[in-house]
Amino acid sequence: MKVQEVITIDKEVLGGQPVFKGTRVPVESLFDHLEAGVSLEEFLDDFPTVTKEQAIALLDIANKLLTSKNVAELYATIA
C-alpha cells in the first residue's frame, strides 16, 4: 500500500496532524497504543474506522523508513 493510501494530512482535519485516510484517527495513536503494550487488535477495536490493512501498512511503511540505508539522512532532515 502506498503512503497516500494510508495517511492523509489536511489542515482542516485535526489541524493537519497525519491521520489514517478516511478517518480522524491520528497516526500517532497507533504508535502510542503499541508503546503502551496494547495489541493491534485492541487498537482496532478502539478505532473501528481504521482497517487492519491500514494499520499493518503503516507499520510496514515505518519499518521501511527506519531500516533504510539512508535513515541517518532522514533523521537529519527531521531532527
Residue with cell 497525519: 18
Task: Confirm or reject CATH 1.20.1250.20 for domain 3-78, answering yes or no.
Answer: no
Domain edges within the chain: 3-78
Q: What is the pLDDT of residues 6-62, one digit of tens each?
A: 999 999 999 999 999 999 999 999 999 999 999 999 999 999 999 999 999 999 988
* Residue 2 confidence (pLDDT) above 60: yes
pTM recorded for the entire structure: 0.82
What gap in Å lies between CA 20 and CA 8, rounded to an integer?
A: 6
Residue with cell 510496514: 60
